[in-house]
Chains A and B, each alone.
Chain A
Amino acid sequence: MRQTDIAIVGAGPAGLMAAIQAAEMGAQVLLLERANELGGQLIKQTHKFFGSREEYAGERGFEIAHKLMDQLVQLSNVTVWKNATALGYYPDGVLSVKQGNSFCLVKPKKLIVATGASEKTLAFPNNDLPGIYGAGAVQTLMNVYGVKPADRVLMVGAGNIGVIVAYQLLQAGVEVAAIIEAAPKIGAYWVHASKIQRCGVPILTGHTIKKAYGTDRLSGVTVCRLDEKWNQIPGTEQDFAVDGLCLAVGLSPLTELLWQAGCKMEFVPELGGYVPWRNADLLTTHHNIYVAGDVAGVEEASAAMVEGKLAGLAAAFALRYQSENFAALYHEAKSQLNALRSAPVSAKVCNGLCKVMLGEAV
């Protein structure tokens, strides 16, 4: 069985940052990533990021991922396992891992769970037809592997993700028939929403999917309008002949490991679903398990990076690692998080966080 100070599950922005910080404090780190590549959601994001300058706003997602990876390779006390899925964490402190086709056990002194989130789907007839994708899958296919998901796509959801991915579809040479949105208002930032409308893609608010159709694969979608009580209005049906339907209707935290390990969980709609209780250092109700990033509540990459930093620092500190600038880094991370969450758009997240915050940290 392999021993390590800190095992980190997930190498998205949160996990990468946690690994860098903990290793810089001197801890032995094992970073486990289920995918073949590091970077999590960042590697498929070709747009320039919003957020704060400290967290690389203005740079493209995949460039940020490369910067973090460059920092990581400088650190000799970090071991990275790709194609490695963490399967379970047991009362004796053992983490089971499937790497490629082999099964192995790891015994970390502390565990940081940074598994991110997965895409939500929507309920409508035939929502399982091939050609109906989550927005992340569309991004992965076209931005990471250079493959078009379809020839003509209808986008569902006019939040930032829907609008950004619609623009990326146009860049990839895919036609976007329209963006539909159930809410009466566009949720995305105006810069993104205006840009896509200037390209001739209509955004239909107050619309939902009535059904999808096709035999072996999607061949079209019927949409209709919603009244102010969100009921479908008969007679308003409109048909779109599309071979792709992209759902950008939110994410929910990937919390299986935390449930299985016995962390106390809570359903918090503002954070995307069930999330763990945690203190300000991101320690859960399990004395050895920390969390960081979307798994602790769906936000954005900047917050995920700062949470990763904080969890990495706190976990290394709990193992009695020290560094000269620990206190400075720790306070800096806390104030960065506060600054990120002080914007009016973060009010929802803050309301959610209040519901799962445990008392005092270290």
Chain B
Amino acid sequence: MRIANHPILEFPQRETVKFVFDGKEVTGLAGEPIAAALHAAGVRSLHHSSRFHRPRGLFCAIGNCSSCLMTVDGVPNVRICVEPLRAGMQVETQEGKGKLV
């Protein structure tokens, strides 16, 4: 759901890139936060809480609240609201605290 027309803003042109979310190919714009690309693709549930496995989504969008942690290219606990998207990234829903090794 990208904004088609905005009365005040113009959004900079960015290159379209492909990345992988939970095994499926998705497109996004290079350099936007991964969270923006996932939202544009209709994905809201990003992570499951460690104790009760409740779905969690984006909350603060400034890298502060830990609600959006995901596993990116095998690295857990990436704050995807501030992590720029690059082509070919492997983005996975994270279960609980994530495994470091």
Contact = CB atoms under 8 A, between A and B. Distances in A.
A198 B39 CA distance: 30
Interface in B46-91: 46, 49, 54-65, 67, 81-82, 84
Nearest to B8: A46
Contact of A35 (B9, B44, B82): B82
B6 interface: yes
A145 B81 CA distance: 11
Interface string B1-15: 111111111010000
A121 B8 CA distance: 29
A208 B56 CA distance: 22
Given A46-B9, A171-B8, A147 B57 contact: no
A131 B61 contact: no
A133 B81 CA distance: 12
Main secondary structure of the interface of B (DSSP, over half): loop
Nearest to A149: B39
B3 A172 contact: yes
- Which residue, B4, B44, B60, B81, has most C-beta atoms of chain A within 10 A? B44
A202 B45 CA distance: 30
A145 B39 CA distance: 10
A141 interface: yes
Interface of A: 34-36, 46, 60, 83, 85, 118-119, 121, 128-134, 136-137, 140-143, 145-149, 151, 171-173, 216-217, 254
30 contacts: A34-B62, A35-B63, A36-B31, A118-B60, A118-B64, A118-B65, A119-B59, A128-B49, A128-B54, A130-B45, A131-B44, A131-B57, A133-B59, A134-B59, A136-B60, A137-B61, A140-B61, A140-B62, A141-B36, A141-B58, A141-B61, A146-B2, A146-B9, A146-B11, A147-B2, A148-B39, A171-B6, A172-B3, A173-B3, A217-B44
